[in-house]
Chain A
Amino acid sequence: MVKKQSQRLISKSRDIRRENLLSFGLLLVIIIVSNIISSYLFTRIDLTSEKRYTLAPATKELLRSVDDYVFFRVYLEGDFPAGFKKLRRETKEMLDEFRAYNKLIGYEFVNPLATGNAREIDETIKTLTDKGLRPTELQVRATDGAQQKIIFPGALVMYRDKELPLDLLDQQLNTPPEMVINNSVQNLEFKLADIIRKLSQLQKPALAFIEGHGELNEAEVHDLTQSLLPNYRVDRITIDGRIYALTRRSEPDASGNVRILPNYEAIIIAKPTQAFSEKDKFIIDQYIMYGGKVLWLVDPVLASMDSLQMNESTVGVDLDLKLDDMLYKYGVRLNRNLVLDLNSASIPLRTGQVGGQAQIEFFRWPYFPLLNQASNHPIVRNINSIKADFVSSIDTTMDETIRKTPLLKTSDYSRISLTPVLISLAMLRENPDPRMYNRPGQIAAYLLEGSFTSLYANRIPPEIADSREIGFKEESKPTAMIVVADGDIARNQFHVPRGYPLPLGFDQYTRRTYGNKDFMLNAISYLADDTKLISIRSREIKMRLLDTNKANAMRLRLQVINIALPVLLVITFGLLMAWRRKKRYQKPFASK
């Protein structure tokens, strides 16, 4: 009887064990299958503090307006280092996010160099570079040592019969690779949305460089113009007192009213050196009143390195462009001074001659301050330092109807020299005294937004003010302008000795690339584009990198916590459970 009972108990115990095993097995399968399914289903809750996975309203609006297929052929498929895998994953997720708003957005990730013989691979590389994609060379660890690998971290984006290249990886000098990847990820939404905007816009916005007052010539803004041309129509115009130079008049309607519209989304006044006539000022003023935007790049002080080529010193003097009253009316005053900054770009100087060879050394030149962002505005967010040449400071007026956002400022080690300024290379012979640099953060660029009052309000005779053809307007539509107290930030250098124009922001002597081009493109984009996509650039995605020193110091503790502790916890839990079960079931069985 006891034996029978014992057998029954053993059999029951086996059943329970089998059932538990089955439960465990099923649970395991459920977990695995759920993971497989989750990798295919696109859904997420954005719990990040910076809302990195939530699209900006401007992007959503743009996506809703897309009316035809936009197809991204992304060349980020293959065996990459972790950073590029992250860029790939983030790109895919961002495109999936885009697709959630518009199914016409499509993509395919391809490895362009996966198949084919050497000739075909060469042809593919040539085709992709011809189309404007930049290859990146990687060192990849293989079983037989390090290998060089070329990848194209970019995409070709097609919309109707247009195709544009898109670089997904930012090019940033002197920046750690992880930071470059992170910055690239940070800019993904802007980049993807911007390329869609560029492709789908039916008409390019028009821009004009103003000429006729000694502004930078075509060659001096060559790189900027070339960078603008894919997205804008760029003209160069001389106002020359013509009333129709910047605005156009519609045919009179039934009641005889004439509509006046700006000819250009924005105009650029780049480093004028001659005074503006009242007529030209009036035409620019009225262009602004009718909603036109202006990028002022104005030097209030005449100073140039050219004068220092032959002499050791020169003098910076006031440059009277007759624009002071105009800019003051709009809300800013360009000060007649030069800002010196210890955080500055270097210039090459000949310090001697050894064996017939000139000895060249680089010196920080305080008159070339490196400007940094003065606010969190998207125009200047996360851009490299901007190299300025003889920059002045800007003050603002008390006019509260105009919103004034500082964009660029000098460093905390700045000082001001009032005109006339003696500029002498002799100052490089001595170490600068930091105590003299006591005027920190001088603002060198402002964004002005709002409804501006005309410089000519209450100042012109009634025959002009009442003329229908002229259509004088005292108060502007809501518009914007950017004032920079340095004209040279838009000027590219020329190769010495060949003379061809170099990329804007590239200093051929120090071989550094500054953020001048990014600033100019962002500023123009902000002024000329309707979509305000640039606001996306202001988002910051924090990079949570390990503190390598701290990690190394705490290596053992971290290893123990991460590896041994979970195992110990599981074992402890198991022992506790076993002890509890033993305590619970042993007694009744023993009593029988």
Chain B
Amino acid sequence: MKKNRLALYLTIGLALTALVLVLTRSGSSTVDYKDADFAVLDTASVTRIFIADLDTNQVLLERTARGWTLNKDYKASQWKVDELLNTMLKLRVRGPVSQSSHNNVISRMAGIALKVEVYQKKPLINLFDKIKLFPREVRTKTYYVGDNPRDNIGTFMLKEGARTAYIMYMTGFKGFVMSRYSAFEDDWRDHTVFSHKLNDIRSVELIFNEEPWQSFRIERTDGLNFKIIRLADDKVMPEYDTLRLLNYLTSFGDLRFEAVLNNTMPRQKIDSVLNSPFLHRLTLVDMQGDTTRMTTFNKKKFAEHLDIEEKLVPMDLDRAYALVNRERDFVLIQYFVFDKVLRPALYFEPGAPDFSNVY
């Protein structure tokens, strides 16, 4: 056994050396991945992403059972989050920032960089990626995203505590990736106003402020049967065009606004618009009793526009303002998108003309 003891010690020593080498070195790269490990290869395990800038803007994206939330308050735009996760997945090292420009890059980052924190669900015990026990949320990456090199391929990034900044690029994409990161809440907002399938709709009410006789309410009676009530006289429409009604109700499947104006438009101007008479008030109640409401307002046109009779058209014919999301958000909408749910009561009458080009 004495003879074998030396061999045993040698084996243990060599095994430990091999383990250290295997764990610390990558055979096909000299990049120190302690400083350059920006990519998230398992985006499915990402639970939270926190992005902040130096101007107190910050966003917290959290994965929930109902999708991604933004700052615990709003629904986050799914495609934006997907795009960010895809970016994180495909981040690769283009090269270290040169020593000659490193100080400049770091100085610039100190002024403009975004801090990014990524949280993932990681098992406490992970055996060869086969046996994973005790999953818990941990902060896996903290790094700073700066601006771009001169040729605009890739973006400067620096890991927290690292000595070297790297230029990171995205495979299959020619350009910089800085724009994929934003600390502005509005950039991450989900733009959905209505996302209701026909079977989810209990009632829809549309009030025309300037033409009250065109206001109506559609109520589900049972199954796929509905009635239309004219709000002017509160009478049920005796006959209606079923096809048009179904077409109308199925149009609530995916309606989105164009932009949030809460933080970009002066408050006085928003108040001025909100104090003006509204155009439409559209209220949808779903089968669970939840109400979604949108109130629209005229938007003045920036440039003068003359109609076919050379009369001045004061209003924007393409866009309108709207109050959505329980009247918390002042947004911009496009008639091109919302025209199909802003039909007058007349539209449902059998043989009535198609109003698609009127409203």
A binds B: yes
Give A residues with C-beta under 8 Å from B. Answer: 19, 22-23, 26-27, 29-30, 33-34, 36-37, 39-41, 67-69, 71, 73, 77, 92, 95, 99, 104-110, 112, 115-117, 119-121, 123-124, 126-127, 158-161, 163
Q: In the assembled complex, which residues on chain A have CB atoms less than 8 Å from the CB atom of B100?
A: 68, 160
Whole-angstrom distance from the CB of B93 to the nearest CB of chain A? 6
Inter-chain CA distance A409–B171, complex, in Å, is 49
23 A-B pairs with CB atoms under 8 Å apart are A23-B4, A26-B4, A26-B8, A26-B11, A33-B18, A37-B17, A68-B98, A69-B98, A69-B99, A73-B94, A92-B28, A99-B30, A106-B96, A108-B93, A110-B92, A116-B171, A120-B172, A123-B172, A123-B173, A160-B98, A160-B100, A161-B101, A161-B149
Cβ-defined partner of B15 (8 Å) among A33, A68, A163: A33
Inter-chain CA distance A161–B148, complex, in Å, is 11
Is the CB of B21 closer than 8 A to any CB of chain A? yes
Closest to B7 in A: A26
Inter-chain CA distance A109–B92, complex, in Å, is 11
Q: In the assembled complex, which residues on chain A have CB atoms less than 8 Å from the CB atom of B25?
A: 40
A40 x B7 contact (CB < 8 A): no
Whole-angstrom distance from the CB of A590 to the nearest CB of chain B? 29
Whole-angstrom distance from the CB of B34 to the nearest CB of chain A? 14
Whole-angstrom distance from the CB of B92 to the nearest CB of chain A? 7
Q: In the assembled complex, which residues on chain A have CB atoms less than 8 Å from the CB atom of B92?
A: 110
B30 x A106 contact (CB < 8 A): yes
Q: In the assembled complex, which residues on chain A have CB atoms less than 8 Å from the CB atom of B29?
A: 107-109
* Contact flags B1-34 to A (C-beta < 8 A → 1, else 0): 1011001101100110110011001011111000
A108 x B28 contact (CB < 8 A): yes
B7 x A41 contact (CB < 8 A): no
Inter-chain CA distance A108–B36, complex, in Å, is 12
Is the CB of B235 closer than 8 A to any CB of chain A? no
* Contact flags B58-93 to A (C-beta < 8 A → 1, else 0): 000000000000000000000000000000001011
Q: In the assembled complex, which residues on chain B have CB atoms less than 8 Å from the CB atom of A163?
A: 151
Interface size on B, residues (CB 8 A): 37
Inter-chain CA distance A39–B11, complex, in Å, is 17
A124-B172, A161-B151 given as contacts; is B21 within 8 A of A37 (CB)? Answer: yes
Whole-angstrom distance from the CB of A197 to the nearest CB of chain B? 17
Closest to B24 in A: A40
A22-B4, A40-B21 given as contacts; is B14 within 8 A of A161 (CB)? Answer: no
Inter-chain CA distance A284–B322, complex, in Å, is 81
Q: In the assembled complex, which residues on chain B have CB atoms less than 8 Å from the CB atom of A108?
A: 28-31, 93
Inter-chain CA distance A587–B30, complex, in Å, is 64
A19 x B90 contact (CB < 8 A): no
A71-B95, A71-B96, A73-B95 given as contacts; is B90 within 8 A of A23 (CB)? Answer: no
* Contact flags B175-194 to A (C-beta < 8 A → 1, else 0): 00000000000000000000
A124 x B171 contact (CB < 8 A): yes
Q: In the assembled complex, which residues on chain A have CB atoms less than 8 Å from the CB atom of B27?
A: 39-40
Whole-angstrom distance from the CB of A334 to the nearest CB of chain B? 48
Closest to B16 in A: A33
A36 x B90 contact (CB < 8 A): no
Q: In the assembled complex, which residues on chain B have CB atoms less than 8 Å from the CB atom of A26?
A: 4, 7-8, 10-11
A30 x B7 contact (CB < 8 A): yes
Whole-angstrom distance from the CB of B24 to the nearest CB of chain A? 9
Is the CB of B269 closer than 8 A to any CB of chain A? no
A37 x B150 contact (CB < 8 A): no
Whole-angstrom distance from the CB of B304 to the nearest CB of chain A? 43
B95 x A37 contact (CB < 8 A): no
B11 x A69 contact (CB < 8 A): no
Closest to A106 in B: B30
B21 x A159 contact (CB < 8 A): no
Q: In the assembled complex, which residues on chain B have CB atoms less than 8 Å from the CB atom of A34?
A: 14
Inter-chain CA distance A73–B28, complex, in Å, is 10
Extra pairs beyond A30-B11, A33-B15 (8, CB < 8 Å)? A27-B7, A30-B14, A37-B14, A68-B98, A73-B94, A92-B28, A120-B172, A121-B172
A115 x B171 contact (CB < 8 A): yes
Q: What 6 A-B pairs have minimum CB-CB distances, sorted nearest first?
A: A120-B172, A71-B95, A109-B28, A40-B21, A108-B29, A116-B172
Q: In the assembled complex, which residues on chain A have CB atoms less than 8 Å from the CB atom of B99?
A: 67-69, 104
Inter-chain CA distance A557–B172, complex, in Å, is 52
Q: In the assembled complex, which residues on chain B have CB atoms less than 8 Å from the CB atom of A126?
A: 174
B22 x A30 contact (CB < 8 A): no
Inter-chain CA distance A160–B104, complex, in Å, is 13
A112 x B17 contact (CB < 8 A): no
Q: In the assembled complex, which residues on chain A have CB atoms less than 8 Å from the CB atom of B151?
A: 161, 163
Inter-chain CA distance A23–B7, complex, in Å, is 8
Closest to A126 in B: B174
Inter-chain CA distance A27–B1, complex, in Å, is 14
Docked complex: B161-175 residues within 8 A CB-CB of A: 167, 171-174
Whole-angstrom distance from the CB of A383 to the nearest CB of chain B? 32
Inter-chain CA distance A446–B149, complex, in Å, is 47
A19 x B4 contact (CB < 8 A): yes
Whole-angstrom distance from the CB of B279 to the nearest CB of chain A? 41
A123-B172, A123-B173 given as contacts; is B98 within 8 A of A161 (CB)? Answer: yes
Q: In the assembled complex, which residues on chain B have CB atoms less than 8 Å from the CB atom of A104?
A: 99
Inter-chain CA distance A34–B17, complex, in Å, is 9
A36 x B22 contact (CB < 8 A): yes
A30 x B10 contact (CB < 8 A): yes
B95 x A123 contact (CB < 8 A): no
A108-B30, A120-B171 given as contacts; is B95 within 8 A of A69 (CB)? Answer: yes
Q: In the assembled complex, which residues on chain B have CB atoms less than 8 Å from the CB atom of A121?
A: 172
A120 x B173 contact (CB < 8 A): yes
Q: In the assembled complex, which residues on chain B have CB atoms less than 8 Å from the CB atom of A115?
A: 90, 171-172
B98 x A29 contact (CB < 8 A): no
Q: In the assembled complex, which residues on chain B have CB atoms less than 8 Å from the CB atom of A71?
A: 94-96
Inter-chain CA distance A158–B149, complex, in Å, is 12
Closest to B89 in A: A115
A30-B10, A107-B30, A108-B31 given as contacts; is B172 within 8 A of A161 (CB)? Answer: no
Inter-chain CA distance A117–B14, complex, in Å, is 43
Most buried by B among A37, A77, A109: A37
A127 x B11 contact (CB < 8 A): no
Closest to B150 in A: A161
Inter-chain CA distance A123–B175, complex, in Å, is 11
B94 x A158 contact (CB < 8 A): yes
A37 x B18 contact (CB < 8 A): yes
Closest to A33 in B: B14
Q: In the assembled complex, which residues on chain A have CB atoms less than 8 Å from the CB atom of B3?
A: 19, 23
Q: In the assembled complex, which residues on chain A have CB atoms less than 8 Å from the CB atom of B8?
A: 26
Inter-chain CA distance A163–B150, complex, in Å, is 11
Inter-chain CA distance A334–B170, complex, in Å, is 59
* Contact flags B117-145 to A (C-beta < 8 A → 1, else 0): 00000000000000000000000000000
A112 x B171 contact (CB < 8 A): yes
Closest to A92 in B: B28
Q: In the assembled complex, which residues on chain A have CB atoms less than 8 Å from the CB atom of B14?
A: 29-30, 33-34, 37
Whole-angstrom distance from the CB of B169 to the nearest CB of chain A? 10
Q: In the assembled complex, which residues on chain A have CB atoms less than 8 Å from the CB atom of B10?
A: 26, 30
Q: In the assembled complex, which residues on chain A have CB atoms less than 8 Å from the CB atom of B101?
A: 160-161
Cβ-defined partner of B22 (8 Å) among A40, A107, A116, A127: A40
Inter-chain CA distance A115–B86, complex, in Å, is 12
Whole-angstrom distance from the CB of B205 to the nearest CB of chain A? 44
